[in-house]
Chains A and B, each alone.
Chain A
Amino acid sequence: MFAYLQKCEPPSNDKRWKIIAATMRKLGNERQALIEALHSYQQAFGYLDKPGLTYIAASLKIPLSQVYGAATFYNHFTMKPQGEHACVVCTGTACYIKGAADLLKSIFNAEGVKPGETTPDGRLSILTARCFGACGLAPVVVVDGDVVGRITTDVLEQRLRKVLGHAG
């Protein structure tokens, strides 16, 4: 009935699984390593999927449903593959007051995607964040890891065009 517990093998030969195994081992392969393991999993692969979660559950000896419950509880974790590029719009209070909604609207107009979605060609994912703590520079957008402060809709559109390599 708990067959998954016996096959404590990574789902593939991908070397990245070694990083995740190391994270779990460092915390004694115990239950408390779950969130750290999920972080390291998502950092390595970009998103979580069921075979990976089964491996983590087996390694830490946690019930499958508990792993899935935790993975879906936290905003940070995603079960969907992400686009090549990520644009995260901060929707914290300061950014909200300074027009984060307009930024999202302009992205939708230009690229046709809403927060949480990826363009059909898989090139760009739009996400929102609760607050980056860079409120002094509101509104803030993070494009592929670069924080851009005091951004306007024009600058954002330019930036996205540049990242996606669109002409003009």
Chain B
Amino acid sequence: MPARVVTLQIDGRDVTARDDQMLIEVARESDIRIPKLCYVSGLSSYGGCRMCLVEVEGTSKLLAACTTAVTEGMQVRTVTPRLTEYRRMILEMLFAERNHVCSVCVSNGHCDMQWLAQHLGIDHIRFPYVYPNLPVDASHDRFVLDQNRCILCTRCVRVCQEIEGAHTWDVMGRGAQSLVITDLAQPWGESESCTSCGKCVQVCPTGALSEKGRSVAEMSKRREFLPYLTMMRGETGNE
């Protein structure tokens, strides 16, 4: 079925879009930035971080903007006191879940999570820190994986599967014990399937994946390639 054009309202502004577009993309086209962590333009939606939850008129449930398609007449609010409070709490729990000390992190100043925390005005964490002692894998020639900084957003898993086609990454275990792994949870450097393309490092929102030799705050990431790659492949990109 060809896509139809619909009109909707986001934060009081009238917007037109195709009905096969996701709310989060439509909002961005109108320069309305909905907070996000697991979503990244050019990859499939995951719906795990719940940062992009929005209120939609007529439904009591909060909907994730990355997995909700726009519909005619939809009225969306992306910022309300309730949403901000939920986003803060979720982000605080994420900070408490593993070790996210910005001052010693390679991604300090270039981290999606840090940026979001500043944006939401988080100045302290109300939850006790769990501080699990997780491994750091530096076996790869060029890259490092620090599980302590991983937020399990699966961007690395998706980019490796969907764009590079190697499917080196996946998630093992479940719940809070989940970890991202390469191949059979072996050291990354020994992975048979890894092509060392580095896309996982570039899409990682935190300091969990970084290039070797980077010191504190030196790891800025390049993600511009992603939407273009999807577009050039002729797939229905979200752009």
Q: List chain B residues, Cβ under 8 A from A3.
A: 192
Q: Is B185's CB under 8 angstroms from A68's CB?
A: yes
Question: Does A140 have its Cβ within 8 Å of any Cβ on chain B?
Answer: no
Interface centre among A3, A50, A64, A73 (most CB of B within 10 A): A64
Interface flags, A67-87, vs B, CB<8A=1, else 0: 111001100000000000000
Q: Is B167's CB under 8 angstroms from A53's CB?
A: no
Question: Does A63 have its Cβ within 8 Å of any Cβ on chain B?
Answer: yes
Among B171, B184, B195, which residue has its beta carbon within 8 angstroms of that of A54? B184
| Given A1-B195, A73-B174, A68 and B167 contact (CB-CB distance below 8 Å) | no
Complex Cα distance, B166 from A53, in Å, reads: 18
| Given A50-B184, A53-B184, A54-B184, A65 and B170 contact (CB-CB distance below 8 Å) | yes
Q: How near does chain A come to B145, taking the closest CB pair, in angstroms?
A: 13
Question: Does B172 have its Cβ within 8 Å of any Cβ on chain A?
Answer: yes
Interface flags, B166-202, vs A, CB<8A=1, else 0: 1111111110000001111110000011010000000
Question: Does A4 have its Cβ within 8 Å of any Cβ on chain B?
Answer: yes
Q: Is B192's CB under 8 angstroms from A1's CB?
A: yes
| Given A53-B184, A54-B184, A63 and B193 contact (CB-CB distance below 8 Å) | yes
> Which A67-111 residues have a C-beta within 8 angstroms of B?
67-69, 72-73
The B interface, classified by DSSP as helix, strand, loop or mixed, is: loop
Among A65, A72, A73, which residue has its beta carbon within 8 angstroms of that of B183? A65
Q: Is B182's CB under 8 angstroms from A65's CB?
A: yes
Classify chain A: how many residues form its interface, as a range: 10 to 19
Q: How near does chain A come to B172, taking the closest CB pair, in angstroms?
A: 4
Q: How near does chain B come to A82, taking the closest CB pair, in angstroms?
A: 19
A-B interface pairs (CB < 8 A), number: 53
- Which chain A residue shows the least CB distance to B180? A65
Among A53, A65, A73, which residue has its beta carbon within 8 angstroms of that of B168? A65
Q: How near does chain B come to A115, taking the closest CB pair, in angstroms?
A: 15
Q: How near does chain A come to B180, taking the closest CB pair, in angstroms?
A: 9
Question: Does A66 have its Cβ within 8 Å of any Cβ on chain B?
Answer: yes
Q: Is A65's CB under 8 angstroms from B173's CB?
A: no
Interface flags, A1-31, vs B, CB<8A=1, else 0: 1111000000000000000000000000000
| Given A65-B167, A73-B174, A2 and B193 contact (CB-CB distance below 8 Å) | yes
Complex Cα distance, B181 from A54, in Å, reads: 15
Q: How near does chain A come to B168, taking the closest CB pair, in angstroms?
A: 6
Q: How near does chain A come to B176, taking the closest CB pair, in angstroms?
A: 14
Complex Cα distance, B128 from A134, in Å, reads: 39
Q: Is A2's CB under 8 angstroms from B192's CB?
A: yes
Q: List chain B residues, Cβ under 8 A from A50.
A: 184, 186
Complex Cα distance, B181 from A72, in Å, reads: 11
> Which B157-173 residues have a C-beta within 8 angstroms of A?
161, 166-173
| Given A50-B184, A54-B184, A69-B181, A64 and B173 contact (CB-CB distance below 8 Å) | no
Known: A50-B184, A72-B174; 10 extra A-B contacts, CB below 8 A, are A1-B166, A4-B192, A50-B186, A54-B184, A63-B193, A65-B169, A65-B184, A69-B172, A69-B181, A73-B174
Which 5 A-B pairs give the minimum distances between C-beta atoms? Answer: A65-B170, A63-B167, A69-B170, A64-B183, A72-B172
